[in-house]
């Protein structure tokens, strides 16, 4: 527990915390601007559709970029600041150290997603979007938590890449590459259900009947991706020399 507290203290004064909240707020803000410029205002827009649009953008682009940066930052911090040797001097298993860092990333991302929903609620209240009630708000928070849990396994390959490169820029490059491939994969009506980083879109949204058979396979690919990244990270970190 003390090691976990230490990991949170390491990022306590990081400017990336504020920047990440500003970054994740861009999509709802842009949609709010669109509402103000639309000649029809918010006619035809419901709170549920607003949440779904923000959710899709987060899962496809913004979330990947931001989550990848956060993951790479947390796991590269020891290398960037040359503090890994002193950290490893603490009597704690290396696998536990990785797990504690991953928990920091998990809590950070969940806070971002919750803040994103709060922002959507506030914008919806300002513009009088239809369908805003306690039930829909609770559903939106549930969707945010679900999306975060779905995305967690996809962060382990970023952890592995970061450990290999030992620089947080690795997460940025990896995330950009993922976004580009996402665009290509989504152009296919079939194969995007089998590409790990577009699978969250399949699992988070309504599944077309013709693709229902792909869901179990998509879940297995998602879990396998997370497992490979996690095992690879632990094995490499156990053998790394400082």
Q: pTM for this structure?
A: 0.87
Residue that the structure tokens 């990081």 belong to: 14
Round the CA-based radius of gyration of the chain to a whole number and report it.
Answer: 19
Please give the Cα distance from 204 to 201 (Å, whole number): 5
pLDDT in tens, the chain (242 residues): 666 777 777 788 888 889 989 988 888 888 777 665 554 545 567 888 888 888 888 888 877 888 988 999 988 888 877 777 777 777 778 888 889 899 999 999 999 999 999 999 998 888 878 888 999 999 999 999 998 999 999 999 999 999 888 888 888 888 888 888 888 877 776 677 888 888 888 887 766 666 666 788 889 999 999 999 999 999 998 887 76
CA 116 to chain centre: 12
Contacts of 74 (CB under 8 A, 6+ apart): 7, 11, 101, 104, 105, 108
């Amino acid at each position: 527990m003390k090691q976990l507290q230490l990991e949170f203290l390491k990022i306590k004064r990081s400017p990336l915390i504020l920047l990440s909240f500003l970054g994740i707020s861009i999509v709802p803000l842009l949609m709010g601007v669109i509402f103000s410029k639309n000649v029809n205002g918010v006619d035809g827009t419901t709170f549920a559709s607003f949440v779904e649009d923000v959710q899709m953008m987060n899962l496809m682009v913004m979330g990947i970029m931001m989550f990848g940066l956060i993951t790479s930052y947390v796991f590269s911090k020891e290398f960037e600041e040359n503090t890994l040797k002193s950290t490893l001097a603490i009597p704690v298993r290396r696998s536990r150290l990785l797990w504690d860092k991953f928990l920091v990333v998990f809590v950070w991302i969940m806070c971002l997603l919750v803040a994103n929903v709060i922002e959507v609620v506030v914008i919806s209240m300002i513009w009088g979007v239809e369908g805003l009630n306690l039930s829909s708000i609770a559903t939106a928070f549930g969707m945010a938590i679900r999306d975060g849990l779905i995305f967690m396994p996809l962060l382990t390959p970023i952890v592995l890449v970061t450990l290999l490169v030992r620089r947080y820029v690795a997460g940025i490059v990896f995330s950009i590459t993922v976004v580009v491939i996402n665009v290509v994969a989504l152009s296919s009506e079939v194969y995007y259900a089998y590409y790990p980083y577009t699978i969250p879109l399949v699992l988070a949204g309504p599944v077309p009947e013709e693709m229902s058979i792909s869901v179990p396979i998509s879940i297995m690919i998602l879990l396998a991706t997370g497992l490979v990244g996690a095992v690879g990270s632990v094995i490499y970190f156990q053998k790394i020399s400082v």
